[in-house]
Structure 1
Amino acid sequence: MSSWLLDPLSTAFVLRALTGGVLVALICGIVGTWVVIRGMAFLGEAIGHGMLPGVAIATVLGLPVLIGGAVSAVAMSAAIGALQRRGRLSYDTSIGLLFVGMLSLGVIIVSHSRTFATDATAMLFGDILAVDLGDIALLAGALVVTVAVAALFHRAFVASAFDRRIAHTLGLRPRRAQLALVGLVTLAVVSSYQAVGSLLVVGLLLAPAVAARPWTTRIPVTMALAGAIGALSVLVGLLVSWNAGTAAGASIAGSAILLAALSGVVRSSIDRMRRRTAAHGPETADGPTHASATARSREPHIARTAAIR
């Protein structure tokens, strides 16, 4: 058991992969919380696939693929905003059209080149074991930017998530907040590219946040817990990849999904046990105790208060 755990962590490139993966997990934990709250999963997936043309062109031209992917992702985000503002298309329709268009363009570029077999696999599934110190420095910078933007726009994000009109009334500029959130999603997707590729990035973006949400009601706590769950997913995925000979990126994404499922099962089990205990609470011979009757009488008031908050 000790060798299963210690042997991978004694290797330099695995430690670099773990460090880079943890940084990605922290970025995705912050951004993924808002993605889940705002229902923006489709946008994350679309931007992930929107990177493909830029990555493909950069590979053909011998340029850094991360720069090509970033330019393509930013262009994708800008095009979504332009279609939504100037056209009559809904938000999800705009994303869907650009998603298919960018994915098709990426596949055309890849299929046109005969030297793309290995690179195409890395584009889709990432290569976290190839993370170097330069990549770690870039991820650290991306994390700093993510934390700063999330803190700066926190009130605007919260208000816009519940009612854009209230956000506008409070002077929080919901349109600018939406652009900032799209920018954070783009940054998270681009920075996660090296770790899990464009195909699996949505799993790392969503699963830790989904796993964290049942355990807390405060957004900053959810972000911290999602980051911790994401980091655990990276560790488990790398250990599984090393010992079972599986793809590292897919193992990390799969671990994140399994942890989300486990979180949901445990939370549901605890809630059922609590309801069962409450239903069989202490009663007097004439019926429920005064405390339990009072608690039940307050339930509608509590529900209304929660709805208002």
Structure 2
Amino acid sequence: MEWLLAPFGVSFVERALWGGLLVSGICALAGTWVVLRGMAFLGDAMSHGMLPGVAAASLLEGSLFLGAVLSAGAMALGVTVLSRSPRLSQDTGIGLLFVGMLATGVIMVSHSQSFAVDLTAFLFGDVLAVRPGDLAVLAVALGAAAAIAALGHRSFVALALDPRKAQTLGMRPRLAHALLLCLLTLAITASFHVVGTLLVFGLLIAPPAAVVLWARSVPMVMAGAALLGALATVTGLLVSWHLGTAAGATIAAAAVAFFLLSALAADLRDRRPRRRPPPPNTSGRKASGYTS
């Protein structure tokens, strides 16, 4: 058991574990709706759309977290405005904003010769460098995400099922969509400095996608996604410690691997022939193994 417990006796690995657990909870709350509403492309675009804010904050020696929040907020606002156009599909607007924000960030990065290391951390994260202050920020973000998810639950469900019916019922689907974007923005900006923008997408999508194949309610998907994300965090840190791999990337890879296993198991379940009910007993006697 020493190989299982020894890594978490080291302080920075212990902080990485707590950071991963908090991120798993945040991503489960937001990622469930991303998966149910088919918003994976939006999540990917927003995770990369933070680059201009992070680049500007780095060049100005400011807070990378604040820069990411402002940039992601601008991205969410742009998506909300463009989605109101009846002649422009939402995917088109997201794609244009994605390219524009990413291009702006790359242009800003190209003017700095010392941003290469920061850009690597932005893309891939450094979960082993989590500080106590980061854990406090993640804990507050988890509480805020839980509050948003609870307050907007009914509207989110109606929005996922039928936006037109939600409008008829007076649930204001546009406001619900904007609130959902706020939840997604919070999850991404709170998590990117732990696992990076390319890897936060794994925890945001893979655990809910794995659980939705089995769960029958939204709360079950959220709870299962949080547990699966936590398992991916523990597995990724153990593999990283013993094999010397990148911790953040290993956590994300573990999450995707769990999704593939879940999808394979669900496929085998669906292929299993169902037991046919016995033919009706017309002789007046009970069939063997069945009671009336």
TM over 0.5: yes
What is residue 92 of structure 2 aligned with on the other side? 93
What is residue 251 of structure 1 aligned with on the other side? 250
Distance 2:270 2:161 in 1: 26
Residue type at the aligned position of 2:160? A
What is residue 58 of structure 2 aligned with on the other side? 59
- 1:109 is displaced (CA, Å) by 1.7
**Unmatched runs of 5 consecutive residues or more in structure 2:** 288-292
SS at match of 2:212: helix
What is residue 266 of structure 1 aligned with on the other side? 265
What is residue 182 of structure 2 aligned with on the other side? 183
- 1:47 is displaced (CA, Å) by 0.6
Alignment of 1:1-309 (within 5 A): 2-85=1-84, 88-273=87-272, 275=273, 278-279=275-276
**Residues 100-130 of structure 1: CA distance to partner in whole angstroms, max 9, x if unpaired?**
1111111122222111221111010111111
**Unmatched runs of 5 consecutive residues or more in structure 1:** 292-309
Distance 1:186 1:87 in 2: 24
- 1:213 is displaced (CA, Å) by 0.7
**Residues 257-290 of structure 1: CA distance to partner in whole angstroms, max 9, x if unpaired?**
00001111122223333x25x15x766999xxx9
Distance 1:138 1:240 in 2: 27
SS at match of 2:84: helix
Distance 2:189 2:86 in 1: 27
Distance 1:136 1:177 in 2: 29
SS at match of 1:215: coil
Distance 2:187 2:213 in 1: 23
**How many residues align structurally?**
285
Query: Which has the larger displacement, 61-70 or 86-95?
Result: 86-95
Residue type at the aligned position of 1:36? V
Distance 1:214 1:59 in 2: 41
Under a length normalisation based on structure 2, what TM-score does the superposition of the two structures give? 0.92
SS at match of 1:85: coil
Residue type at the aligned position of 2:89? S
What is residue 294 of structure 1 aligned with on the other side? none
**Residues 157-205 of structure 1: CA distance to partner in whole angstroms, max 9, x if unpaired?**
1111111121122221111100000111111111110121111221110
What is residue 290 of structure 2 aligned with on the other side? none
- 1:52 is displaced (CA, Å) by 0.6
- 1:20 is displaced (CA, Å) by 0.9
Under a length normalisation based on structure 1, what TM-score does the superposition of the two structures give? 0.87
Percent identity for Structure 1 against Structure 2: 54
Residue type at the aligned position of 1:254? A
Distance 1:36 1:95 in 2: 17
Greater helix proportion: 1
Distance 1:54 1:87 in 2: 30
